[in-house]
Structure 1
Amino acid sequence: MNGDWLLLGRDGRLSVYLPSDDAALWRAERTPAGPWEAPRRIGGDQELRPGLSVGRGPDGYAHLVAWRPTGTDRSGLVHTTHFRPLLAPLDWQPAGHPNKQGDRTGTPAVAVDAQGRAHVFVRNGGGGMSMVAQKEKGGWDPWRDLKGRGVQEEPAAVTGESGRVEVYAAVTGGIRHWYQEKPGARPVLGEAVDASVRPGSLRALATSAERTTVFFTDADSGELCAWRPGDKPVPLVTAAGPGPVAAVRCVIDGHDCTLVAQRSTDTGRVVFAAYPSEQEVMGAQWTESGPALPADALVSLALDADERLVAATLCPSTGELRLTRRKDEPGLALGPWQAV
């Protein structure tokens, strides 16, 4: 799974998007903060390959992108839009291939701009970054080669508060950044930073009105680090697990804070750490919550319709989904974890 899979719909209900064998599933709240619907398959019987990517637009619509097999050693990207949690998503529609044809080239990432257009990023067959964007009135623009070399799996796409789309990718010896200079423009290569990046550990978040931050785990030190173009990477806390952190901005005791969460390899429990947004130099500490979870457990964070923090865990091996909500009291106190 690439991106946040716990999302708030425009009608105030939460949805979760789940990879399942050769398909994608979704579940939704029947009422805000109420009981949940049973899982449903997205897009009928169409077979998918591993590597589901999910993004949410400012309009509250969810966009999903995945690879599907199109023949022997052939794959193509497909996309669907989910408008409201209690309505079925649209059918999967072809989005093409960065090299026109061929097999899967990498895990896609998707971000949605201020006009509600999905931008899909994926490594191409030459090891660079390619992108395709939706047209305003339907269909797709041509694929664009954004250049770069040595791009690794699972880039991290993000939409800034300005509505401009950005993407980060681990490359050989560091991280590269692509950004839009103005809304709707072709993303251009921005700054690069030297870093030893643990594979599959990138997660990006809009952390202020003008800037985004990418979180990654340093492969040498094991520290969770934050980087914003124009600055140097800053270590925040020792990473608790191998994959990317979940991240969200929320107000804690009147302060704009960034909250990160991850499954701890040591205890199997979810750990949380919060700090004032873009003030990583202050450091952070992990706090454990909930029961011990299987090693494949995923973690996601979101704010509900009342801007209350919600944390979710999903265990693909068991299908169990658990949620907790922040209590209405000072600090970051969470309620009991509930299976849904």
Structure 2
Amino acid sequence: MPRRLRRPALPSRRRTAATVVAAALLGGTFVGLLSVSATSHAPSAQAGPPETHPPVKVLPAEAHGKGETRGKAGAHGKGLQPGKGPGSAVSVVQIVAHPDDDLFFMNPDVSQSLHSGSPLTGIYLTAGESDGVNSRPHDRHLVAPDKAGYAEARQNGIRAAYAEMATGSRTSVWDREAIPTAGGGWAELDTLRAQPQIKLVWLQIREAGATNGNRPHSLHGLWDGRITTLESQRSSGTPVPTDFAYTKEQVVATVTGLLERFRPTFVRMQDPSPGTYPKSGKFRDHQDHLYGARFVQTALARYEQLPGHPHVGVQNYLGYPTTVLPHTLDAAAAEAKLNTLKTYSWLNGVHDCEADAGCGDLKVSVRPTGRGWTKTVRYARGTSTSWVQRDPDGGLHAFSVLDGRLATWRKPADAVTWQGPELLPGGGLDSGITSVTLPDGRIAVFGTRTILGAAAADYRREVVTTVQSAPGGAFGPWTSLGTPERNDASGTSDISAPAVTVAPDGRATLVLRDSLHQLAAREQRADGGWGPWRSLGGTEVYGDPVAATDANGRGYVFISTPSTVLAWAEQTPGGPLTGPAPTGLPPTTLALSASAAPDGNGVRLWFRKPSSGDLRSADFSGTRPVSPFTELPGTGVAGFGPVSGGDDLLAVRSRTGFLATASHGRAGVRPVWTLEKFLFSGAPDAGTDGVAAIGLDGHLHWTPASH
């Protein structure tokens, strides 16, 4: 094995003042309430000025009796008790193609993890060397191409950005060393001296250098087999001692080895199936993002089979496609994210890194907002609020995806704590499952899974389902419901997570968004089989659809476009979905949720106001546009993502990333938001009995309702 090398810490000059850019994201006390008596507004109305309210309560993650017992662990053997053994603490690994992909597409989640005190490791697959010119466009003619130098400048910018987010000083010292990889090459490992749980790993593989261009010497070409090895691109100043090259297998082995080293409970990664533009066939996202994510998927599938590791959850992030969509972040969060990009891009021009290559990415300094990316963060799948089901006797069932398998929890009606997780057989599941209760009391779970295959051409994603054998019984084997896609090449297997309606006779209708950005559906027949896929239409729909059934048994499906929300509805209970029908709603931030309307007429839709985090709701009966929506100003909570709950409890992701809950619906009482101090994945699930969320530790956190 090659000798391990250590490089002394690089010297740095300290700035006279540091800007703590994460303060707006994780500041101490928040104030704000949901107004129970909020008035209805026309779609064009603006929220009024913020009011002054009592402070929000902030509770630790252990509050409200969130006990959890890890029961059966599937193939991993013995169950685990909280706080003991693997999986008892949060460890986040995030893997991206280029330096800055994490800052543009994963923040503010990144800064929230940095401030949590838990281990966080950022892994960069490529060197990001581009054309080797680190300059603003008008200075380009003055700068000679230097790929090693530009790669170093981007590293310096990332180190400055992470140091500033974590410590408040962009010049906080990093210790840098070379480590051998499991693929037979080398990587640079950087550790933040002031907070050594924060690490950065640079694999320094050659990048494609073009979003869609034909570049065989790239992760794309290596994945497809157009080349057998892909070379490294070492940055100047790196402690890595020599050049190297990887085969496809060696890249997978390298990433798998890093997962073994850092033992994550949660992995952030880019979207492996972002789709293509139908007319041109070009990728909607950068080819390095897409194929880098597929290498990560393959490594995760291998890592998940290894014994003894903590259960791991996964979140995919949308990249370039966010450009055309409404902004999700409120002004304070967007400004903090932009400030981090300004640090990365070396916008201040202060030469405080002592590197001839430069202290940041000057290409980004021309437009540090990207294409609106600093005002947005979006998850690709994983936004369903329908992952908890309730028995008639009050028992509860919860579902998530850990280790690429369906994880189930159970809380009997008379129990205080939950039992689980039990991991069901069958791997490859993507994050973002949904569940429904059938009329006979059985539960059905639906999701998508990725088939990696032996060859690149075998890659595909498909819909799968599993159903209990009897109410409260075991789940049967997974059944494939296929995909509406012709093949992976035409649309990169770009299908959303599914939404499901159930007719009074138990027949299910499955709906998802396809790579043409339309809705497609399969209906279950009376004999239990499934009919063919059919198109439901729609134009430029995005995100995951949501489904709900009203008190009369009629099913509804909603999905967003960049400018409004479209609806499909059954004209009679169990009849075919018809639409799209205009709802008359303004733009939303995509992550919708729906449930039966309290008055029994139609369904109530919950969503967020763009660029604010404020909550909105509207009722829809399927025979007319929605009623004027009700706006519930979220001052002091903000955040992004789905709104779960209804008239009794509401649960959302706050600006801090913490779970925020509030009672809602009691006339004359203004409910107070309560922040619980743990970071969670996906969306919360709120019911009349309590709120559930899956922490980044893979644990189920439960907050019982106060009555």
Which bracket does the TM-score occupy, shorter chain normalised? Answer: 0.7 to 0.9
Letter in 1 for 2:467: T
Specify the code of the residue in structure 2 equivalent to 1:324. Answer: T
Which of 673, 682, 686 pairs up with 1:301?
686
C-alpha distance in 2 between matches for 1:101 and 1:161? 39
How do 1:91-110 residues align onto structure 2 when only pairs under 5 Å count? 91-99=477-485, 101-102=487-488, 103-110=493-500
**Cα separation, partners in 2 of 1:297 and 1:74, compared to 1, 3 Å:** closer
- The match for 2:606 among 171, 195, 215 is 215
Q: Does the 8 Å CA contact 1:10/1:59 hold for their aligned counterparts?
A: no
Q: 1:235 aligns with which of 631, 642, 647?
A: 631
How does 1:70-149 map onto structure 2 within 5 Å?
A: 70=451, 71=453, 72-82=458-468, 86-99=472-485, 101-102=487-488, 103-149=493-539
Residue 330 (structure 1) aligns with: none
Of 288-297 and 180-189, the range deviating more from structure 2: 288-297
Deviations 1:77-103 (A, max 9, x none): 111113567522111101121235441
Partner Cα separation in structure 2 for residue 98 and residue 227 of structure 1: 31
Q: Measure the CA separation in 1 of the matches of 2:538 and 2:426.
A: 36
SS where residue 496 of structure 2 aligns? coil
Q: What is the alpha-carbon distance in structure 2 between the residues aligned to residue 324 and residue 113 of structure 1?
A: 31
1:27–1:39 CA contact under 8 A, matched in 2: yes
Asked whether 1:292 is paired with 2:677, we answer yes
SS at match of 1:38: strand
3-state secondary structure, aligned to 2:509: strand
Do the aligned partners of 1:236 and 1:284 also contact (CA within 8 Å) in 2? no
Q: Structure 2 regions of 5+ residues with no counterpart? A: 1-381
1:23 aligns with 405
Residues in 2 aligned to 1:22 and 1:134: alpha-carbon distance in whole angstroms: 26
Would the alpha carbon gap of residues 68 and 299 (structure 1) be closer, same or farther in structure 2, given more than 3 Å must change?
closer
Q: TM-score, normalised by structure 1?
A: 0.81
RMSD (Å) for aligned C-alpha atoms: 2.6
1:202 aligned to 584, 587, 592, which one? 592
- CA–CA distance in 2 between the matches of 1:45 and 1:115? 29
Query: Does residue 192 of the first structure (1) align with residue 583 of the second (2)?
Result: yes
Change (3 A) 1:111 1:188: same
Measure, in 1, the Cα distance between the counterparts of 2:507 and 2:487.
24
What SS is found at the alignment partner of 1:80?
A: strand
Partner residue in 2 for 1:224: 615
Q: Residue 182 of structure 1 corresponds to which residue in structure 2? A: 572
1:320 aligns with 2:705: no
- 1:39 paired to 2:429: no
Pairwise CA distance, 1:273: 4.1
User: Which letter does structure 1 place at the counterpart of 2:645?
Assistant: A
Match runs of 1:272-283 below 5 Å: 272-275=662-665
- Cα distance between partner residues in 2 of 1:260 and 1:321: 18
**Local SS of the residue matching 1:95:** strand
1:267/1:105 CA distance change after superposition, 3 Å: closer
Distance 1:221 1:284 in 2: 24
Q: Is the 8 A contact 1:264 1:271 kept in 2?
A: no
Contact kept, 8 Å, 1:53 with 1:66, in 2: the verdict is yes
Q: Deviations over 1:46-101 (max 9, x none)?
A: 32123222223344332211112244331211111135675221111011212354
SS of 1:40's equivalent? Answer: strand
Contact 1:265/1:295 (CA < 8 Å) preserved in 2?
A: no
Deviation of 1:10 (Å): 4.4
Identical positions, percent:
23
- Distance, in Å, in 1 between the alignment partners of 2:675 and 2:478 is 36
Q: Distance in 2 between matches of 1:47 and 1:224?
A: 34
What is the CA-CA distance between 1:224 and the residue it aligns to?
1.0
Could you say which residue in structure 2 is the equivalent of 1:5?
387
The Cα of 1:31 is off from its aligned counterpart by 5.3
Cα distance between partner residues in 1 of 2:668 and 2:486: 46
Partner of 1:252: none
Runs of 4+ with deviation above 4 angstroms:
83-86, 282-286
TM-score for the superposition, normalised by structure 2: 0.41
User: Which is richer in helix?
Assistant: 2
Counterpart Cα distance in 2 of 1:57 and 1:319: 27
Q: Please, which runs of 5 or more residues in structure 1 have no aligned partner? A: 249-256, 277-281, 304-308, 328-332, 334-340
Contact kept in structure 1, 2:613 and 2:640, CA below 8 Å: no
More strand by share: 1
CA deviation string 1:19-54 (max 9, x = no partner): 214122101125533443221123x13321232222
Give distance in 2, aligned partners of 1:285 and 1:67: 40
Distance 1:68 1:86, change over 3 A: same
Amino acid at match of 2:631: P
In 2: Cα distance, 1:295 partner to 1:38 partner = 18
| CA deviation map 1:169-188 (0-9, x unaligned) | 01121100100001222111
Contact 2:403 2:427 in 1 (8 A): no
